Every structure is written in structure tokens, then in C-alpha cells.
Structure 1
Amino acid sequence: MQRPLCCLFVCLLIVSAGLSAQTPELPYTTVNLQTLNDFKPAGNNWKLVSDVFYDLNKSGAGKTKNGTGILVNDFSGKSKDQLFTKMEHGDIELELDFMMEKGSNSGIFLQGRYEIQLFDSWAVKDPKSSDCGSIYERWDESRPEGRKGYEGHPPSQNVSKAPGLWQHMKIVFQAPRFNEKGEKTANAKFIKVIQNGVTIHENVEVTGPTRAAAFQDEKPMGPLMIQGDHGPVAIQNIKYKSYGIEPVTLTKLMLKSYEGKFQSVDDFNALTPKREMPIEILAHQAPGSRDKFGGKITGTIHIPRAGQYLLNLTLRFIPNETLPTNPNGAGELSIAGKKLLTITGKDNNFATTTTSLEAGDFPFELAYYKNFGFWYARSNDILLTIEGPGVQYTPLNQVIRIEEPVSEISLIAKNEPIMQRGFMNHHGIKHTHTISVGEPDFTNYTVDLRKGEFLQIWRGDFLDATPMWHGRGETQLSVPMGSVIELPGKPSLTFLADQNAVWPDSNATYTNLGYDVDKAGRPIFKYTLGGASVRESLASTDEGRKLTHSFTVTPGSETKEIWCRVAEGKDISVLPNGLYAINDKQYFIELPAATKPVIRNTAQNTKEMLLPVKATNNAGAVTYSIVW
């Protein structure tokens, strides 16, 4: 009985840690794409539509559908204007979705001056500073030929999708700084650029406007500009948070430390503190026991601007799974004498609130206690974050732990496919019997061998094995280094009474028989479904643009009808070029000529694509390709 309980306890820890990591945040400001009123007047190349199709195989074949919600640069006419927002920004956090036509080129210019390149870089092996996601180069005609362009920064890896698919870009930008005389004191900086979930730039300075900027000077504020004179592009879901340069600060911190076991922070009122000491960080820094203590931290909090603020408080010494009848700690936070946050310790270790705060300096008080410790929660740190009008998400006076530096242990497929067995997270759940396969052309995937489930695909670098191999392995996980598309993770093949029968979450008739390795170094998975034998393989094709998934089924004594589940998403639509778009153009499915799939609704309000495995001469086969 001991071992199952222990395993359950560890699983609870993993799940609760994942839940608490999702910190609430204030909403973004959305650029309205129901009209063009949020933009300055521009040429008629900029239009609003409800849907767009770009053919991944040829340029100039785009189609749109009347409506709103998607901004399109239509290159068919004479107008090729740039598009500027009426909004001007300094520091900003910007997110948007974009879609490229084959061979097309565009860009997002922060303040109209500093460009993040948008480009059709599908399957480019060695990205340059002209490829998608790059910080574009600066330009100086006076420099020698071949060196006129300079300071361009290519993305750390190419995670661009195929033309016609939606991609996501997040940019955290810091505007240049100027003194009272208007003299620049600090360069503009891209704090972080994330494309399709992968950080491709971090803390990159730009010394001045990049090539083709609308303005050659530098100023504290400027509009967003979308490039319109280079090629077709579609953009949707534009949102941002604009920030000022004055931060929230926490100063003059004093700690009153108490020792003992407490029922409430009100117990401190009848006690004399054991110690009183100035501190600079939010943590119980008083010497003495690491357990059975209490503290009251007071200080001054500076609020730069009046408005609604979001505060998040986490007492890291309280585990989420503490029994409600035996909490090991609690805490309360007050600003200007008003209690804003309370952690009881009975159900979790964090609290969050949105509250209205005036600008100015106000008394700050945080009281807390800890009655006992856990071997896995020994930290006495406190995490307090704040976000508000013009104030980006800020951890206040956080503890920075000095840890032994660890070099990344990465697996890269260089000249041939590479396979790695291990643990892998999928939709937040740890799968313990997986194999991941990486190809030299940066096309990768993971399969669960125990369940026969196709879990995920990703484009870019293969695996970070540091959490699995460093020391004893902190999480035992291998982590994809590229841009991941998580698939639903149900069995690929199963028996169905007919095409309307519900697809099962698991397959009781599945028996794993291991895998062979073909001449190219790729695995061929072997298993049985009831009395049928299956050989399953995946291979990168078309220089990494596709992942071809194939099944060969020998029915043997099996008489039930076998089906293959090709895809699931909130929508599945057939495109003019014969491809199927899955999940709002997240990826494409390519089927062999004349193959007609079954596309049906599910009880979860999604769509499924199925193919029957029809046996001829005691053998059946199914093949399809994923394109992204």
C-alpha cells in the first residue's frame, strides 16, 4: 500500500506545481479589426476580411472572404502603403497572429523604426537576418560594398510555419531613453521576441532605426508600423500592453521576527518580536529556526500612476496540498492600512486580487507565519508581483538564488535521425514510456509506446535533456526545443462498429511489440490490435516540409473494421488546393489523391478526420502527411 500512495503524492505535487505557475495578469488592449479606425488613413491595399487563403505552393493565388477580423495587405492593386497605428508607444508588450503568402515579405516596426521581419522562411535550415523573426539590419550607404547592412540579428532557430498557416509573434520592447536635454542615454532594446512559442531573441540592443524605417530619428514614442510595400500578409488578434518608465518600488523594509507556533497573524499583537532588522528582499531573513516562525515586514510602496492594479502573493513555504485541518502557515498583505490579500494556507499558497490604488507612497505591511516544514518546500521566500496602468508585470524585491551553473545538455539531429526514450509532458501530464525522434531537417515528433498515441510534432531544434540527465534529473523530462503542436493524444488506430462510433480515449486491444530501425535510422513501430498486426512509421519528407505518417495492417484473424484517426480540431476545412486545414489553420493534412476522409462532429464540439483501413490480399495501408 505504501508505494501507490507515494506515487499519488508525487503526482499531486506535479499537478499542483503546474497549476500555481499560471499567474493571473491584466488584460491587453486590443486593436479593433472590425474597422480601420485604430489606424491612420492608408492606401486601399489594406483591407479587412473574415478569412484568407494563401496557397503554400504558389504566390499570387490568395483568396479572401468578405467580412472583418483579419487585416490583409492586398498586393493586387497599385497602392502599397505602409500602415500606422494611431496609438503611439514607448515600452510595449505586443502580440499578434500573422500569415505569410509563399515568398512574401513584410515586417512589424516598433515605434515605426525597429523592425521584426515577417517573411516566408518555411523550412529554411540556416536563418539569416532577413528571415522571419529576425531583427532586421541597419543600413549605411557610406559603408563599403557588401557591408552597408550591419547589426542584423537572425533568429536563434527557424520555427516558421508554411505559407497559409497562422503563426504567433510576441514582442517585448524597451524604447530608447533620453535625458532632459533630449539626448539619448540608452539604446532601444528587444527584451524578448517569441515566435510560435519559442524565444528567438533576448535582450538585443539596436543602436538606431533599422533599414526601411519610417523615421530615421529616435524618440521616446512612436506608432506601430506594418510594412505594406514588400508583399502580401494577413494579421489578426493584435493586442498590446503599453508601459511607462516609472516602476513600482518597495523600499525601507523592516522585519519583525517572532518564534513559535501560531494560529493567526493576529497572535503577533500580543508578542514582543525576537528581532527587528532592516531587509532588502522579500524573505524571512531572520536567523534562527527555519520552521515555527512568524514575521511582519513593513515598508513603503511607491505607486507611479493611479488605476487598477493586479497583485499576486505566493508564500513559497506553504505547499498547495497542505491538509485544510492542519495548515502550516498563512499570511496577509495590506497597503495604506487596507487588507488586500489573505492566504489561509488551508487550500493553497497564493492569493490574487485586482484593486484600485492612488499614485504616491503608501505604508506596506506583510504578516505571515510558518508552523512546520516539508523536505520539498524548504524555501522561506515570498513572491509578490504587481501589474497596473503603465506598469509591466514586476516581481517586487524577489530573492535571486545563486545556483551552480549548468551547461545545457541538448540533443541535435545533425546528419541522421536521432531517437530518445524518456519522459515527456503532454497537455500537462507526464508520459513515462515515450520515444521522441528528431530529423536533421528540424522535423520532430513524440509517440507514447505504452498507449500507441501520437502525442506531438515540432519544428526547430530537437531536445533539451538537461532536466533528465543533469545530476539525478530534477523532473526526468526531456523538453522540445522547437515550436510544438500538441496533438490530442488518442490512439491512432482502433476498431469501430461503423463510422459513427465514438473514438475511444484508450485502446484495450493494443499490445506494444517494440520497434525496428530502418536503413535511414528511423523507427518502425510494431504492435497488435486484437488479432491484427501493425507496422507504423513516420518520416520527414520534402526537405522537412512534411511529416509522412504510414500504417501497414495485417488483419490476420481479426474481422472487425479498423479505422485511422488522422486529425482532430475545433474545425477541419478543405482548401482550394486540396489540403485540409486543421484547428483554424494550425497545420495542414495532405491525403493521397482520390482519398476521401470521413469528417465528423464529436461530443466535445470538435471535428475528427478518419480513414478506413481497407485490407486487400490480407494487408491494409493508410498514409497521410502533416504539413506545417
Structure 2
Amino acid sequence: MLLVSGSILGIYSDHLFPDVISFYLPMIRFQWFLFLFLMPGLPVSAQSSEVPSSVLNLQSFNEFTPTGRNWKLAGDVFYDLNKAGKGSLKPGTGILVNDLSGKSNGHIITKMEHGDIELDLDFMMDKGSNAGVYLQGRYEIQLFDSWGVKNPTSADCGAIYERWDDSRPEGRKGYEGHAPAQNVSKAPGLWQHLTVVFRAPRFNPAGTKIQNARFEKVMLNGVTIHENIDVTGPTRAAAFQDEQPTGPLMIQGDHGPVAIRNIRYKAYGTEPATLTNLKLSAYEGKFKSPADLSSMTPRREMAIDVLAHLAPGNKDNFGGKITGLLHLPKSGQYLISLNFAWIPAETNPANPNGAGELTIGGKTIGVDGRNGGTASAIVNLEAGDHPVVLTYYKNFGLWYARSNDITLAVEGPGVAYTALAAPVRVEDPVGAITLQTEGEPIMQRGFVNHRGRKHTHTISVGEPGAANYTVDLQKGELLQIWRGGFLETTPMWYGRGETQLSVPLGSVIELSGKPSLAVMTDQHSAWPDSNATYNNLGYDVDPAGRPVFKYTLGSVNVRESFEPEDGGRKLAHRFIVTSTGQAPGEIWCRVAEGRDITELPNGLYAINDKQYFIELPTNQKPVIRSTARNTKELLLPVKGKDNGGVVTYSIVW
């Protein structure tokens, strides 16, 4: 029996009291009409370029010291989701695999030695398996099959593993381990991504350690799980028990099967890039371009020690020219990034509130203000000092972009990403406003960014098993799934709600964002980007508190629902389709789209290079076909009496 009917307003929270909604609804509608009118297209700033990483070549073992025969190279690897030790390899290179089927179980160690480093790699776990990545061969990030673990410990995937001291009392021999902030581990047999920003220990000229090693940031599957964690010494089972300025990368080989690929890194030195001798020439008035300042006399000139418009006077109608000296420790390609805080990503391109440009090394990096306040470029620069000129203006203020700070950042050979001469600000004391599931599903409506575009009529559903998802109610599209925490709603509810975005707290998989059902002439018809006959009828809420979405496609009635399975490890997706008349074609369900779709030996379908799995009911055979976009689609027919039927499948990740 269905108990509650939900209307679709798209931008309001299901948690607001009805009397509050009814009182404020006219004002809310007007404010959002005005906001959307002023922000046509809602553009998003383009992503910046990147300084290329060094790549650890996995076409041979030349990058490693001699090791045991348990380490092999493969072109592909399969680990069974349900059965440990049933993996298989395909010939080839590019994937480093620990195969413990023989007698050898040695670790593998790189010839490359590092100090400060940013490390990226993909890994895949066998069911129940255990391994580890050791920075400098001494400090371990744990790799483990932690799929579905509710309360992770320092032994789970992504943990900074514990140190060990046999002289300590029983039960306390292990110490200083750090569990991940949340468990966002994927299923065995899926590729996962690890990013580690590591600062090596520091030593004085006499060789005495003066600063501990530090994990500045660890990210698992796109989610930050550690920040600024000091490690006082080597963790358990390290290759070396001393501490040094540099050491090799080591992958543990004596615990369980693991596959590694795409090992990339940026190694950094200890000499920083600096920006000094800063001088500000300040102007006041309205401007059309940074070039306008060149013919004007400044109102005042002053020395400054941080990068911001610090001149007294008008804070919304000003211009400035800052000169300074950039010191770089090494020659090479540098990524220079520029951002003006008063120009947000979402701005009116017909009336930008500012612009600016930076000149360095004979190259100009410009921000025209029509597409946000950010720009970047890669510039070849020699070691030493380089004059810089930064010119900018601001014509009016925005209530949600009040700061007049400027960010100029540099990254390059031996230099980690560094914000130069950045001002230190006391942050607004507001904490994050979050929604977490506690024993029952929770629903939240709001705006969601999906593939660079803002969707304004969405509902996100959080499940106690951490299998969360977002549906676009306006178009009937499944946008994303994620594992881990539910939502941060600070951008919706703090102050005036700047962007109105609800932001997933876990590890997100963005789906294609197209209709799940369509009426087609036959299975060879192109899948539509949208359904012209889609008519949203709202949603009911079932006794468990989950929404059941209702809509029509012409004469076809649809009830669509989701339900977690296996403790949240899987998400079942179900359609009940009935027809009130003869549909003008066949009804199909588009289960998945990806660069590739592969049927695995265990009957699952791997999507997007093993990003996630699709599990179909027994004996259900899909259609897998190519698209004009050079992708693959997995389709299921909706079969039944009078063009109706039921379709069910599960997403596994």
C-alpha cells in the first residue's frame, strides 16, 4: 500500500514545514525566476590545464628492482566478485598483477626514489584480498577488500596502517593507525583510484629528523579520506625501519592478489616558488577592460605583502595593477593559474562584474569575466626571478561573491601547487550543513551539477546502506549513484543559498543522464536524448520511505523504483510498465552506456572499463550495441501483455 503522494517543485526541501513553504513560496518563486533570468545558460568554468605527471612504465619490469615471480604483467585482469582466488589474466602489458598461485610472494620495489610526491594509481582487489602501497618503502596506505564495511578501521582500504612495537603490552602493540574518514571502497573486480599527496620527513644538516613524514592528503575514488596526518615512523611490515629524505615506492606482495595500473607521480623538491616585492597601483571608477587603466593616473600607490586589492576606497568600483617578482627554483614548464574571487563561475556573460590579466614571461593570461574568474596556462620559464604584472577591475559586487582576494598559483618542476602570497583570512565559523541517513531512507530536492550542467528539478535519495542516487524529475533521468555519505547542503541552506547545489559526500559515478525507457521502432533505433512524450506525475512514497516515481510516455504508464540489496552493496532498479493503448513501437529499457560493455565469466556486465557492474536476472539476455558516439549501450526489451511488463536489474559498485 502506498501512503504518501509527493508533488514536484524541484527546488524545495522535503524537510521544510508546509506552513513555511506556503508562506515563502511566492517569494521563492520570484527570487529563483530572477536568479535564472540573470544567469542564462548557467555556465561552468572550464577546467584548467595540468602539468603532466611522470609515468611508471608497465610495459616491462625495467622500472623495478628484481623481485619474485609472483609479479606479472597483463593486458587485462578478472577477479570474481563472489569467489576468492578465481581470477584470471589476459596476455599483455600495462597492468601489474600480484599472482600468488605459485610459491613466490615478494614485494615489488621501484628503482625510482622519491621525497615529496603526489602519487596516482588505479588498483583492483580480489575478494577478501589484502595489499598495501608504501611511500618511501616505509609508510603504508592499506589496500583491502572493504566493500560494504560499515565502520572502517585502520585495517580497511585507504587507511594509514598502524605502527607496531612488540615491547608494548598485548592489545596495544599496534598504534597510530588512522582509519579512513568514510568507506568508499568499491566491489572486488572493479578498478578503484588512489591519490596520495605525501611530504617526506625533514632532516637538519646533521641528519637529525626535525619534521615527521606527513600524508597531506589521501583520496580514494575521488573522496578525501585523510588530511594532514603525521606519521612518526615506519608503519608495520615496512621494507626499511630507518627514516631518510628519499626512498622507493613499494607494493606489498605477501598478503593477497592485487592489480595495479596507471601509476603516475609528480615529485617535488624543497625549495619553494615565491612572489615578493609586491606593489599596488589602485584606481577607482567603471572600466570596460584592463587596458583602460594604462591611460589613467592611480588614486594611490602602496606596497603590499599579500595578493589582494588592499587599497582603501570603493570596494565595488575599482581597478588595480600589481607588480611583483616571481622566483622559480628550476627551469621548465609551469602551470600558472589565476582567479579573481569576485567573479564567480556562475555569472551573467552579458554583464560581467570584472576582468583581469596577468603578464609573465612574455605571455598574457586573461580573464574576460564572461565565463567566471578563472584562467590558466602552461608557460616555459627559466629558473630565477621573473617580473609579473597583474591588472584587473571590478564594476559591481555580488552578494554571494564578496571577497576581493586574488589567487595566483604556480605548479611545475619540483614545485607543488602553490598559492603565491595568499592572504590569511579568518573563515566564517559556519560548519558544513550535511544530511546523513540514519536507519531509513532520506529524500532531498535541490539543484545538482551533472557533467558540468546544473539540473534544477532533482531528487537525491540516501539509503542506510550508503547506496545513494539522484534522479532528474523534470526529464526522468537517473543522473548519478554514489557510495558513502549522503549530501552536503551548505550551498543550499547557509546564508542566501549561493548556488543552491546539493553536493554528494561519497564517491560518485556519473551516469549518462538519458531516459531509462523509450519507445522505439525496433532495437536498432537511436536512443533519444530526451522523451518528447514524457509527462511527470510526481512520486509516491512506499511503506519503507522510498519514492516510487510515476510518469507517462504517451499511452505508456511507468512506475519506477530503487531498492538497495545485499546491505547496500547493490542497488536494484525496477520498472513496472503498463499501456493504456497501442504504443507506436517497442518499449525498451536502456540499462547502461559506456565506452565499453563486457560480459564477464561470472555473468555480470562490466561497464566503462570496470567502473561498475550490471547484474541481470537469470537467463535475461540484453542487447549490446554500438552508438554513433563510439560508445556501447546495454538494452533490455520490456515484454508483456499489451506492450507492458516489468524490468529489473541491479547496479553493483
TM-score category by the smaller chain? Answer: over 0.9
Residue 327 and residue 512 in structure 1: after superposition, are their counterparts in 2 closer, same or farther (change >3 A)?
Answer: closer
| 1:474 corresponds to | 498
The one of 352, 355, 364 equivalent to 1:341 is 364
Query: Is 1:225 matched up with 2:250?
Result: yes
Query: Is 1:108 matched up with 2:143?
Result: no
Residue 385 and residue 542 in structure 1: after superposition, are their counterparts in 2 closer, same or farther (change >3 A)?
Answer: same
Structure 2 CA distance for aligned equivalents of residues 260 and 454 of structure 1: 48
Q: CA deviation at 1:323?
A: 6.9
Greater CA deviation, 125-134 or 289-298? 289-298
Residue 366 and residue 100 in structure 1: after superposition, are their counterparts in 2 closer, same or farther (change >3 A)?
Answer: same
Residue 173 and residue 11 in structure 1: after superposition, are their counterparts in 2 closer, same or farther (change >3 A)?
Answer: farther
| 2:456 corresponds to | 432
Residue 380 and residue 613 in structure 1: after superposition, are their counterparts in 2 closer, same or farther (change >3 A)?
Answer: same
SS state of the match for residue 312, structure 2?
coil
Structure 1 CA distance for aligned equivalents of residues 352 and 497 of structure 2: 32
TM-score (norm 1): 0.93
Query: Is 1:90 matched up with 2:119?
Result: no
User: Does the 8 Å contact 1:257/1:294 carry over to 2?
Assistant: yes
Structure 2 CA distance for aligned equivalents of residues 268 and 475 of structure 1: 32
Q: Deviation digits for residues 248-293 of structure 1, max 9, x if unmatched?
A: 0112322233445668777767766443322111122111233554
Query: Is 1:19 matched up with 2:42?
Result: no
Q: CA deviation at 1:317?
A: 4.9
Q: Deviation digits for residues 312-340 of structure 1, max 9, x if unmatched?
A: 23344567878799995543424xxx433
SS state of the match for residue 39, structure 2?
helix
User: Does the 8 Å contact 1:340/1:353 carry over to 2?
Assistant: no
Query: Is 1:625 matched up with 2:634?
Result: no
* 2:76 maps to amino acid: D
Residue 554 and residue 115 in structure 1: after superposition, are their counterparts in 2 closer, same or farther (change >3 A)?
Answer: same
The one of 210, 213, 235 equivalent to 1:210 is 235
| 1:171 corresponds to | 196
Residue 551 and residue 45 in structure 1: after superposition, are their counterparts in 2 closer, same or farther (change >3 A)?
Answer: same
The one of 114, 131, 154 equivalent to 1:129 is 154
User: Does the 8 Å contact 1:262/1:369 carry over to 2?
Assistant: no
Residue 415 and residue 319 in structure 1: after superposition, are their counterparts in 2 closer, same or farther (change >3 A)?
Answer: closer
Q: CA deviation at 1:114?
A: 0.4
Residue 332 and residue 162 in structure 1: after superposition, are their counterparts in 2 closer, same or farther (change >3 A)?
Answer: closer
Gap regions ≥5 residues in structure 1: none
Q: CA deviation at 1:527?
A: 1.8
Q: CA deviation at 1:140?
A: 0.4
Structure 2 CA distance for aligned equivalents of residues 386 and 576 of structure 1: 48
Structure 2 CA distance for aligned equivalents of residues 458 and 264 of structure 1: 43
Q: Deviation digits for residues 133-182 of structure 1, max 9, x if unmatched?
A: 00000000000001100111111110001100000000000111111111
Q: Deviation digits for residues 450-482 of structure 1, max 9, x if unmatched?
A: 211111111111111221122321211211111
The one of 181, 191, 198 equivalent to 1:156 is 181
Structure 1 CA distance for aligned equivalents of residues 352 and 327 of structure 2: 36
Greater CA deviation, 131-140 or 259-268? 259-268
Q: CA deviation at 1:36?
A: 1.3
Structure 1 CA distance for aligned equivalents of residues 542 and 83 of structure 2: 34
Q: Deviation digits for residues 233-254 of structure 1, max 9, x if unmatched?
A: 0011110000011110112322
Residue 351 and residue 199 in structure 1: after superposition, are their counterparts in 2 closer, same or farther (change >3 A)?
Answer: closer
* 1:609 maps to amino acid: L
Structure 2 CA distance for aligned equivalents of residues 553 and 533 of structure 1: 6
SS state of the match for residue 19, structure 1?
coil
Aligned residues: 620
The one of 512, 533, 554 equivalent to 2:578 is 554
Residue 586 and residue 592 in structure 1: after superposition, are their counterparts in 2 closer, same or farther (change >3 A)?
Answer: same
SS state of the match for residue 567, structure 2?
coil
User: Does the 8 Å contact 2:587/2:643 carry over to 1?
Assistant: no
| 1:372 corresponds to | 395
Query: Is 1:44 matched up with 2:69?
Result: yes
| Structure with the larger RCO, 1 or 2 (CA within 8 Å, 6+ apart) | 2
State the Cα RMSD in Å: 2.5
Q: CA deviation at 1:379?
A: 4.2
Residue 535 and residue 425 in structure 1: after superposition, are their counterparts in 2 closer, same or farther (change >3 A)?
Answer: same
User: Does the 8 Å contact 1:294/1:367 carry over to 2?
Assistant: no
Structure 1 CA distance for aligned equivalents of residues 369 and 187 of structure 2: 49
The one of 547, 559, 567 equivalent to 1:535 is 559
| 1:331 corresponds to | 357
Residue 97 and residue 266 in structure 1: after superposition, are their counterparts in 2 closer, same or farther (change >3 A)?
Answer: closer
Q: CA deviation at 1:350?
A: 4.9
| 2:310 corresponds to | 285
Structure 2 CA distance for aligned equivalents of residues 609 and 460 of structure 1: 27
SS state of the match for residue 543, structure 1?
helix
Q: Deviation digits for residues 58-80 of structure 1, max 9, x if unmatched?
A: 11111000001111011111111
Percent identical: 64
Structure 2 CA distance for aligned equivalents of residues 268 and 546 of structure 1: 60
Structure 1 CA distance for aligned equivalents of residues 557 and 289 of structure 2: 64
User: Does the 8 Å contact 1:322/1:328 carry over to 2?
Assistant: no
| 1:180 corresponds to | 205
SS state of the match for residue 576, structure 1?
coil
User: Does the 8 Å contact 1:451/1:491 carry over to 2?
Assistant: yes
Q: CA deviation at 1:347?
A: 6.1
Structure 2 CA distance for aligned equivalents of residues 264 and 617 of structure 1: 65
SS state of the match for residue 45, structure 2?
helix
Query: Is 1:62 matched up with 2:80?
Result: no
User: Does the 8 Å contact 2:638/2:644 carry over to 1?
Assistant: no
Q: CA deviation at 1:394?
A: 0.9
Structure 1 CA distance for aligned equivalents of residues 354 and 259 of structure 2: 53
| 1:524 corresponds to | 548
Structure 2 CA distance for aligned equivalents of residues 253 and 228 of structure 1: 52
Q: Deviation digits for residues 51-97 of structure 1, max 9, x if unmatched?
A: 00000101111100000111101111111110111110011000000
Structure 1 CA distance for aligned equivalents of residues 348 and 494 of structure 2: 30
TM-score (norm 2): 0.90
Query: Is 1:395 matched up with 2:419?
Result: yes
Query: Is 1:506 matched up with 2:530?
Result: yes
The one of 502, 506, 511 equivalent to 1:487 is 511
